[in-house]
Structure 1
């Protein structure tokens, strides 16, 4: 395939992956199978036909409503599809080839974790473990950083947030981080290496500050115990860092 077509292929593949991820985010927290059973309307149970399952296009053609009952289709479904398409296109534009495909997988895993964290404050162990293992496996495609940096990144990411969480709880008497956050940072470390971890945490914190400011501007109260999905914030910070490593010369290893 010509190199200039690869980003387009990444967008198309991203739309397909995004449709699956949106279903996963919807069904998994309710212990429903992601792969078994036909897709149906969440309101009336109408089984969706092939023409109603085209990513993004079906949502637009149906004006965001179920053909059977007219109920509004959740906008976060199409948002996940569009985000996955954007990730696929950008990744394969930055690195047309195996490295770009690996980066797209990294971005799609981050997207799934971010969506679950925003909607349910949940970072599943199976998904954070998949993030970590795939990050280590990416080394065998001759993709930097070196394996040792990935291993150190996985361990340092997990231990650093675990220590911070325990210190916070011992001082404040309540949880400050979810149990999945250290595992997710460890998984990110397995992809980006240990040198990127401070930037991930700083970037996530800055994004969190912007989110808190936006809440205040919209009249939503923000207190010391307000829950921010830190896993989602780390995801927002981590994928641009992968792009910088890949297309911008990378970090010093």
Structure 2
């Protein structure tokens, strides 16, 4: 690697840290914004008396502050990762412990940015960064709140369809089929499960997430994501229930989104190698269906 390329990767890491800082803001504020919006919608629908109007609350207002002591933060106290290390993981004013989630999201965002600019040309890298950042936001949302919000998943579907008009991951036909299959196949499986067991088996947020993944990665890579994430989720859930034994139930609900997102990241960076290996296995063990991924 040349010195110029290394400097590009360092710059990408810094940009990734800044994006991670913004994602942390969204992770904290977006649920509150959605809750306020849903409350207002319910009041309108049920014709309930309106509550006293609250102060404006969005991603930038009010000013950034400690959620514990409400003290406004200075610029240096908001620097991604650096401020956490400098403050030793505590608020400067009240010494309240800062969640580990903040540096983890920032570091992970930086790693994704470096990998993106390592594997993709500059113009495409910015598009892939957008995809990866949205997935990082969604995986934290699904882990913390068991929620995949429409304000992220639905625009991500349309962005994937647009990006692949430029052929970033696949062609437009594969992107459209991927979006359709990503939503339709899990919806069909979920409908059958609901009919048989009389309970929901998969949430509609997962349908939209998989549709977005299909729109970005295309229909063939979506199949790999679906099969691999399903297998991975069953292995991990089985391991957890085995360890917990009587404390856990096999059919206890779990979030599917994180598994699909992790496999999607693998496909984003190493998808061609994964396909090559699957084709090799298909030829080695005479499994013709695996050869379909090569075309």
Alignment partner, residue 280 of structure 2: none
Cα RMSD, aligned residues only:
2.2
Q: Would you say the 8 A contact 1:145–1:193 is kept in 2?
A: yes
Alignment partner, residue 46 of structure 1: 71
Structure 1 residue 242 corresponds to structure 2 residue 279:
no
Select which of 67, 70, 77 maps to 2:95: 70
Alignment partner, residue 10 of structure 2: 8
- Unaligned 5+ residue runs, structure 2? 34-56, 277-292
Output one character per residue of 1:31-52: Cα deviation in whole Å (capped at 9) or x when no partner.
2511222111111101110110
Counterparts of 2:271 and 2:17, CA distance in 1: 25
Are residues 216 and 82 of structure 1, via their aligned partners in 2, closer, same or farther at CA, if it must alter by over 3 Å? farther
Output one character per residue of 1:84-128: Cα deviation in whole Å (capped at 9) or x when no partner.
111101111111312222222211111111110111111111200
Higher Rg of the two aligned structures = 2
Output one character per residue of 1:161-189: Cα deviation in whole Å (capped at 9) or x when no partner.
11111111111111111110011100000
Alignment partner, residue 222 of structure 1: 248
Structure 1 residue 99 corresponds to structure 2 residue 99:
no
- TM-score, length basis structure 2: 0.79
Alignment partner, residue 171 of structure 2: 146
Counterparts of 2:76 and 2:265, CA distance in 1: 32
- Unaligned 5+ residue runs, structure 1? none
Query: Relative CO higher for 1 or 2, CA cutoff 8 Å, sep ≥ 6?
Result: 1
Alignment partner, residue 160 of structure 1: 185
Structure 1 residue 174 corresponds to structure 2 residue 199:
yes
> How many residues get paired?
253
Output one character per residue of 1:133-161: Cα deviation in whole Å (capped at 9) or x when no partner.
22112124442300110010001110011
Structure 1 residue 195 corresponds to structure 2 residue 220:
yes
SS at match of 2:25: helix
Counterparts of 2:189 and 2:250, CA distance in 1: 16
Alignment partner, residue 183 of structure 1: 208
